[in-house]
Amino acid sequence: MSAATIQERLQGELERHLVPRDFVWGVSTSSYQIEGAAAVDGRGPSVWDGYSRVPGHVANGHTGDVACDHYHRYAEDTALMRGLGVNAYRFSVAWPRVLPAGRGAANEAGLAFYDRVIDGVLAAGIEPWLCLYHWDLPQALQDQGGWLNRDIAGWFADYATLVARRFGDRVKRFATFNEPGVFTLFGYGLAWHPPGLTDPAALHQAIHHVNLAHGAAVDALRAHVASASIGATHSVQPARPVDHTAADEAAATLLDEYWNKAFAEAQILGHYPPALARAVEPYVQAGDMERICRPTDWFGVNHYSPVFARADAAAPLGFAWADAPDNVPKTQVGWQVDPAAFRDTLVDLDRRYRLPIYVLENGAGGHEKLDASGNLIDLERIGYLAVYIGAMYDAIAAGADVRGYFVWSLLDNFEWGAGYDCRFGLVYVDPVTQRRIPKASAHWYANLIRGMVGEAPPQEP
C-alpha cells in the first residue's frame, strides 16, 4: 500500500467518525531522555547518571547530561507541539529534580521548571499528562536499597503528594509508572538498565515494591487532586517463542508474565500471574494486594513490536531474550513491524481489564541522517505510523475502547542503552547544535490530526 493510499484510508476512517471528536492525539517524552541540565539548579543525581557513565553501558558512552537541553528549550519544544496540533503532551517529572535526595527537602527551582512547562503547554491549548516515574530514580534512594527497600512505597507516595499539591490545580492526568515491566526486568533480571543485576530474588522483590508504590501513589493523587484521572503506563507486546518447541513456548509464557502481566494484573485484577505469584510470595504481606489494587481510570499502553524468548537453562531466569526472526519486516533498529499484533493487543487489553485505553507510546526508531538539503524524509516512520494507526482503528471497530494515541516521541532523544544514534523523534535534533528540524513524519502527523489530507504525501520508495 502506498503512503497516499494509507493516508486516504485513515482519512476515510476519520470521516466516518470511527474516532470520536474528543479523541486525544498526543506526543510523549520523558525527563532523563530530553531534559539534560543534569547538574543545574539543584537537581540531584539519578541512577541513570551514574549507570550511563560506566563504559559499555550506553552506546558511544553517551549520557543524558545535555540530552535535548529541553530544560532550557522547553518553550521552543512547546511551539513544535503547537505546530503539530496535538491536544495532549505526556512527559515525566524527574524525581531527583524536585527531591534531590529522593525525600525530605524539595527543590523549588526544580518545581518551578515544571510550572513553566505545564503553564506553557496549557497556554498552547495542550493538556499535560504527567508521569511520576520514567526510570530516573534518585541515586540517594538507590543507595538506601532503591526498589529493594519496602519503605520506597512510602517515599514514592510522599513524592506523589508533593507533585499533586504543586501541580494538581493544573494537571489532572497522572500516570504513576512508565513500563514497570521493562525497568524491573532490564534492571534486576537482564542487567541492561540500572542497577544492572541478574538476580531473580531481587527482581521479584522489586516487582512487588513497585506495585506497592503504585497503589500508594494512586491514593496520594486521589487525596490531593480534585477530579484526578489516574492510570499507569504498561509496555504490552505479544511475547513469542523463538521456536515452536515446548521449552521456548514455556520461556515465552514466562516472559509474558514479567513483561505484560506482573504489574497490570496485580494493579487492576488484584493478583499476580501464576509463576510470579509463587516467586513474589516471600515479599507479600497481609493486605498488600488490596494496597496495590486501587481503582484507576484508564489503562496506558505503550506498544511497538512483539518480543521474543527462548529457553536457556543457564540463564538466571531460565529464559533468554531473543531478537526477532530474520524473515519478518523490521524497522531500522530491528524491531518487528506487525500491526496486527497491535490490533490484537488492544482488543485483548479491552476485554481483560475493562478500562478505557490510551496508547501512550507508539513509534519507529531509525539511524537517520539529514539529506543534502537539510531535511529528513522519514518515509519508513510514516509507513509504520500509518499502518499502526490503521490497526488501532481496526481495534476500535472491533469494539476496543481506545480513547487516545501518543507518538513516541516528539524529539530524537537519549534512547537508553542505544544512546542518541537511535532516533524515534518526529523532530530531528542535532546533538551538537541542538537545532530542531521537523521530519516529514511531523508534517504527516500534523495533517492527520488536522483531519485534512493536505498535500499529497511522498510516495514510498
Enumerate binding residues for ligand FCB (CB under 6 A).
30, 33, 178-179, 182, 235, 302, 361, 408, 415-416, 424
DSSP type of residue 45: P
Pick between residue 16 and residue 367 the one whose CB is nearest to ligand FCB: 367
Cα–Cα distance for residue pair 364/426, rounded to 1 Å: 10
Pick between residue 37 and residue 301 the one whose CB is nearest to ligand FCB: 301
Are 312 and 268 spatial neighbours (Cβ–Cβ below 8 Å)?
no
Q: Which entry of 35, 257, 361, 380 is annotated as an active-site residue?
A: 361
Q: Which three cell numbers stand for residue 414?
A: 537519549
Query: Taking the complex as a whole, how short is the minimal distance between the CB of residue 67 and ligand FCB, in angstroms?
Result: 12
Query: Taking the complex as a whole, how short is the minimal distance between the CB of residue 422 and ligand FCB, in angstroms?
Result: 8
Are 107 and 46 spatial neighbours (Cβ–Cβ below 8 Å)?
no
Q: Which three cell numbers stand for residue 225?
A: 487532586
Question: Is 265 part of the annotated catalytic residue set?
Answer: no
**Helix axes of 152-167 and 200-224: crossing angle, nearest 10 degrees:** 30
Question: Is 179 part of the annotated catalytic residue set?
Answer: yes
Query: Taking the complex as a whole, how short is the minimal distance between the CB of residue 32 and ligand FCB, in angstroms?
Result: 9
Tally Cβ neighbours within 10 Å of residue 61: 12
Pick between residue 102 and residue 419 the one whose CB is nearest to ligand FCB: 419
Tally Cβ neighbours within 10 Å of residue 341: 19
Closest to 26 (Cα-Cα) out of 88, 78, 118: 88
Q: Which entry of 13, 127, 179, 257 is annotated as an active-site residue?
A: 179
Instruction: Return the half-sphere exposure (C-beta side, CA atoms, 13 A cut-off) of residue 69.
Output: 11
Pick between residue 302 and residue 441 the one whose CB is nearest to ligand FCB: 302
Pick between residue 345 and residue 447 the one whose CB is nearest to ligand FCB: 345
**CA triple 87-77-425, angle to 5 deg:** 85
Closest CB to ligand FCB: residue number: 179
Q: Is the omega angle on the peptide bond into residue 195 within 30 degrees of 0, that is, cis?
A: yes
23: part of which helix (H) or strand (E)?
A: none
3-class DSSP assignment, residue 272: coil
Query: Taking the complex as a whole, how short is the minimal distance between the CB of residue 426 and ligand FCB, in angstroms?
Result: 13
Are 324 and 242 spatial neighbours (Cβ–Cβ below 8 Å)?
no
Pick between residue 74 and residue 135 the one whose CB is nearest to ligand FCB: 135
Cα–Cα distance for residue pair 441/101, rounded to 1 Å: 40
Question: Which residues touch 201 (CB under 8 Å, ≥6 apart)?
Answer: none
Among all residues, which ones are annotated catalytic?
Answer: 179, 361
